[in-house]
Amino acid sequence: MPKADSSEHPKESIARNKRARHDYEILDTWEAGIVLRGTEVKALREGRANLTDAYGIIMDGEVFLLNLNIGAYGLGNQFNHEPTRSRKLLLHRREIRRMIGAVERQGLTLIPLELYFVRGRAKVVLGLGRGKKAHDKREDLKRKDADREIARALRSR
């Protein structure tokens, strides 16, 4: 199973979902291509993307990304795209089958974590996440604070 880290080629990051790791426990990740229109690609090159409300769904054996907001391209005039349309993701069949099992049986969610270009192609890192409760979030914050204090104490020595 290929992981979402393609270290051989440099990636040009467009957008990150900072809230995803705070709100969800990420269990697995996949790198997927996105089916885009011309003005969407040009808008992404300008950095006009917002992943905060986006999520993935599986319909008829295909994976779609909903609520990914790609802003309008400035020079697109009447041929501009709809900013929040659903976009198809390109994955292998075995990866989709694994996602279907996790989403339908275990009640997990598909969350986009990062959007970037690799060799001129737009890619998204899709994470399989389980929602965190409020007490889980507090424990994570306490753990991060403790780690920071330990690192600070070690630096001062």
Query: Which CA distances in Å does 27 have to 3, 116, 128, 143?
Result: 12, 21, 6, 19
At residue 32, what is the residue type?
A
pLDDT score for 7: 59
| Domain residue ranges of the chain, discontinuous segments joined by + | 12-132
Tokens representing 96 are 């989709």
CA 38, CA 79: separation in Å to the nearest integer?
9
pLDDT score for 114: 93
**Position 5 pLDDT exceeds 70:** no
Query: Band of the pLDDT at 34, cuts 50, 70, 90?
Result: very high
pLDDT tens for 109-118 read 899 999 999 9
pLDDT tens for 59-102 read 998 999 999 988 888 777 777 888 888 999 999 999 999 888 88
Minimum mean pLDDT range among 25-34, 51-60, 77-86, 114-123: 77-86
Looking from the CA of 65 toward its CB, the CA atoms found within 13 Å total: 31
pTM of this structure: 0.76
**Could you tell me if 41 and 123 are in contact, meaning their C-beta atoms sit under 8 angstroms apart?**
no
The CATH code for residues 12-132 is 2.40.280.10
**Mean pLDDT, the chain, as a whole number?**
86
Minimum mean pLDDT range among 19-23, 76-80, 122-126, 138-142: 76-80
pLDDT score for 1: 46
